[in-house]
Chains A and B, each alone.
Chain A
Amino acid sequence: MKINELTKPWSAFNYGFLDESAKREIRRRTLKAVAIPGYQVPYASRDVPIARGWGTGGLQVTLTLLKPDSVVKVIDQGADDSVNASSIRKFLAKVGGATETSDTTEATIIQSRHRIPEEKLREDQILVLQVPNPEPLRPVQPDMSIAREMHGDADYGQLWLILYEQLVRSGRIMQGSSYPSMVNGRHVMTPSPIPRWDVPKLNQADHLTILSAGREKRIFAVPPHTSVEPLVFDDVPYRVEDHQDKTCYRSGVEGFFMNELPQDDGSSLYELSDSHFGIKSIRKAEGEPVTLGETWYKNGRME
């Protein structure tokens, strides 16, 4: 037996960049996360060639899910060509041979920072959300060890209290994005800093959502057909951003989450935050054969 019969041919890095032991660990942690919806599973979180805080958690999960026939879409703040999103998408194509796409309906894996696409995801699609801070209890308990015990005891009283305090002080719940939500009636999770507009898309969804925080080393998940309920008081309904009657100045489309663009004259213009949905809408209006997927919101409302 010779040594080169026992070894693999040299390559600069393994398929999908991470070595197989790292992938195996992430797969096991992800399976546990799926089995206990909303529960934060610690994982080693390897170093990857992008800076911490720039999507390393999402990237590790995506690299683990990657197959040569994967079709990946990467978005940041809703946009496919945002600088960091395009850098991550290129990396995935380079190390995993994945096909790149901007079209939500074509993707098998969608890695996203701070948005869920407007077109409904199917059961054969996986959404990977990048998470800066996985701990919904951080505002009331910065010590992670204690916060972990509080999750164990389902001790969420202090979280309810800060929502109540906001209500008393400001007359409204002031939580913008990252709205704390109860998953499967047991664990409160942060849905990552997606706008309130996107949180209901996770509830009883057809697709699997994996949330991964690389710097903080936690994976959690919302399996398909699982309840995700924003923490609200019975008499104060959950309110998404007032974007249902805003119109995109580029595409003319109405009733979706918008980017506000301040104008010199003091007014604002609005454009669709989901950039490729906007592109498709424009193309469709121009008569091109484009298929728009079914959307979660219809006429600015979600049933």
Chain B
Amino acid sequence: MAYVATRGGERAIEQSERFYRGDLGIITRERVDAMREGLPYLIDRLMGEASLYEPDLAALALAQAGGDLYEAVLLLRAYRTTQPRLAVAEPVTQPDLFTVRRISAAFKDIPGGQILGPTLDYSHRLLQVGVLNGQNYEPPAVEPAKEPAPATQPSLAAWQKAQGLIPDHPAQTVPPEDIPDVTREPLLFPTSRAHKLQSLARADTGGTLALGYSTMRGYGSVHPTVNELRLAEAPVRMRHPRGTIFSAGRVRISQTEVISKARELELGFAATFGWNEVKVIAAATLDLASNQPNPHPASNEEFVLYHTEPVEGSGFCIHFKLPHYVTFQSSLDALRRVKTDQQEAAIAKAKPETEMQPEEDEVLL
């Protein structure tokens, strides 16, 4: 049928996918391993946005998407959705975290100490161009401290609460199965604390930064100070049906508390899978700014949570490539009518003596 032949979309889509995949070449276990080993911060960012902690799968998604982050997040989210939720881990508090980096900008020193851990914060950002000429870049080895820092540290906010500096919000006791889960329930507003923190945890890093930065820069009444920032490994503890609590491993997490210097001290909080400092600082700032009495969109939780969702945002953005010719045709029809009306009106005005043309039949429905 000629009608079908001129369209012939199905073959074209198949070939265009082959084109893309052909450019990426053969995906091997070695390539996936190299990505996991060589790009840990990218893997972390991906696992956070996908809300799925599995470095091998994240590296595979990255390899399969050729490094297109949004595509990789979608792959992981689509995989995640097929997995059953078997259990809910025990809650972790700050003193439970095996902390490798913990700093506070609010005090010179804090109980437990400032622990720099791994960071590029104070490094000179110089490209090691020699590598391209065959000279390997081998960073100098770390010299261990005389006394290793303790594996766990107390919570700074606990000290501030004991001092009466910040209000203490008692923890709610909710059975694990009843903890709201934003991947299984709609996000409604005003949102629950759980949904808000979960949404921020899986938010797009870039989007979170853009909106968080806007509140830091002055579109908002928040002047944050980093109260405590941690990079840590969190123990994943499960409850056996017989009641025993056992460890099922550890996950890398980052978390930030920011504190306001406004009339009263208030905390903003964010945590996510993986080590991603920019995201948790920006997200904690957005949490602090959230629903402050000011008109800027970055202070509005609905605006923030809807527009930092990476899979929804990127999907909608690229959907504009889909054909829209029916909707366009519909608008075109309305515009043409207005033009026709104007032309007819102009003619009628020019020849007032001419009898008006009978209006064309309206389609009454």
**Chain A residues close to B by CB (< 8 Å):** 12-14, 17-19, 21-22, 25, 42-49, 51-54, 56, 76-79, 81-84, 86-87, 113-115, 132, 143-145, 170-178, 193-197, 200, 215, 217, 237-244, 250-251, 257-260, 273, 275, 278-279, 282-283, 300-302
B interface bracket (residues with beta carbon within 8 Å of A): 35 or more
Contacts of B80 in A (CB 8 A): 47
Q: Of A44, A49, A84, A251, which contacts B184 at CB under 8 A?
A: A44
Q: Tell whether, in the assembled complex, residue A177 and residue B327 are in contact, meaning their CB atoms are under 8 Å apart.
A: yes
Q: Tell whether, in the assembled complex, residue B9 and residue A14 are in contact, meaning their CB atoms are under 8 Å apart.
A: no
Flag whether B357 is at the interface (Cβ < 8 A).
no
Q: Tell whether, in the assembled complex, residue B327 and residue A172 are in contact, meaning their CB atoms are under 8 Å apart.
A: no
Contact of A260 with B326 at beta-carbon distance under 8 Å, contacts A42-B186, A239-B363 already known: no
Q: Of A42, A43, A177, A278, which contacts B330 at CB under 8 A?
A: A177
B296-328: CB near A (< 8 Å → 1, else 0) gives 000010100000000110111111001111110
Q: Tell whether, in the assembled complex, residue B323 and residue A82 are in contact, meaning their CB atoms are under 8 Å apart.
A: yes
Q: Tell whether, in the assembled complex, residue A174 and residue B184 are in contact, meaning their CB atoms are under 8 Å apart.
A: no
Q: Mostly helix, strand, loop or mixed at chain B's interface?
A: helix
Q: Which of B92-100, B187-195, B223-231, B245-253 contacts A (4 or more CB under 8 A)?
A: B187-195
Contact of A217 with B363 at beta-carbon distance under 8 Å, contacts A48-B78, A171-B338, A242-B333 already known: no
Q: Tell whether, in the assembled complex, residue A172 and residue B4 are in contact, meaning their CB atoms are under 8 Å apart.
A: no
> Please, how many angstroms separate the alpha-carbon atoms of A86 and B364 in the complex?
36
B181 to chain A, nearest CB (A): 9
Residue in A closest to B306 when the chains form the complex, CB atoms: A144
> Please, how many angstroms separate the alpha-carbon atoms of A196 and B319 in the complex?
22
Flag whether B81 is at the interface (Cβ < 8 A).
yes
Q: Tell whether, in the assembled complex, residue A144 and residue B189 are in contact, meaning their CB atoms are under 8 Å apart.
A: yes
Q: Tell whether, in the assembled complex, residue A241 and residue B333 are in contact, meaning their CB atoms are under 8 Å apart.
A: yes
Contacts of B333 in A (CB 8 A): 176, 241-243
Q: Tell whether, in the assembled complex, residue A172 and residue B334 are in contact, meaning their CB atoms are under 8 Å apart.
A: yes
Contacts of A251 in B (CB 8 A): 3
Q: Of A51, A145, A176, A283, which contacts B327 at CB under 8 A?
A: A176
> Please, how many angstroms separate the alpha-carbon atoms of A132 and B316 in the complex?
8
Q: Mostly helix, strand, loop or mixed at chain A's interface?
A: loop
Q: Tell whether, in the assembled complex, residue B188 and residue A42 are in contact, meaning their CB atoms are under 8 Å apart.
A: yes
Contacts of B184 in A (CB 8 A): 21-22, 25, 44
Contacts of B185 in A (CB 8 A): 44
Q: Tell whether, in the assembled complex, residue B326 and residue A171 are in contact, meaning their CB atoms are under 8 Å apart.
A: no
B322-358: CB near A (< 8 Å → 1, else 0) gives 1111110111111111100110000000000000000
Flag whether B84 is at the interface (Cβ < 8 A).
yes
Q: Tell whether, in the assembled complex, residue A83 and residue B9 are in contact, meaning their CB atoms are under 8 Å apart.
A: yes
> Please, how many angstroms separate the alpha-carbon atoms of A3 and B87 in the complex?
17
B54-94: CB near A (< 8 Å → 1, else 0) gives 00000000000000000000110110111010000000000
Contacts of A144 in B (CB 8 A): 189, 302
> Please, how many angstroms separate the alpha-carbon atoms of A239 and B363 in the complex?
6
Contact of A217 with B186 at beta-carbon distance under 8 Å, contacts A52-B311, A237-B364 already known: yes
Q: Tell whether, in the assembled complex, residue B81 and residue A48 are in contact, meaning their CB atoms are under 8 Å apart.
A: yes
> Please, how many angstroms separate the alpha-carbon atoms of A177 and B186 in the complex?
27
Q: Tell whether, in the assembled complex, residue A76 and residue B322 are in contact, meaning their CB atoms are under 8 Å apart.
A: yes
13 pairs, CB–CB < 8 Å, chain A vs chain B: A19-B82, A42-B186, A52-B315, A52-B319, A77-B324, A77-B325, A81-B7, A86-B10, A174-B331, A239-B337, A243-B333, A279-B1, A283-B1
A117 to chain B, nearest CB (A): 13
**Chain B residues close to A by CB (< 8 Å):** 1-4, 7-10, 12-13, 74-75, 77-78, 80-82, 84, 183-190, 300, 302, 311-312, 314-319, 322-327, 329-338, 341-342, 362-365
Instruction: Identify the 9 closest CB pairs spanning chains A and B, nearest first.
Output: A52-B315, A53-B319, A176-B331, A42-B186, A176-B330, A51-B315, A53-B316, A47-B77, A49-B78
A270 to chain B, nearest CB (A): 10
Residue in A closest to B187 when the chains form the complex, CB atoms: A217
Residue in A closest to B329 when the chains form the complex, CB atoms: A260
Contacts of B74 in A (CB 8 A): 47, 49, 51
Q: Tell whether, in the assembled complex, residue B13 and residue A241 are in contact, meaning their CB atoms are under 8 Å apart.
A: no
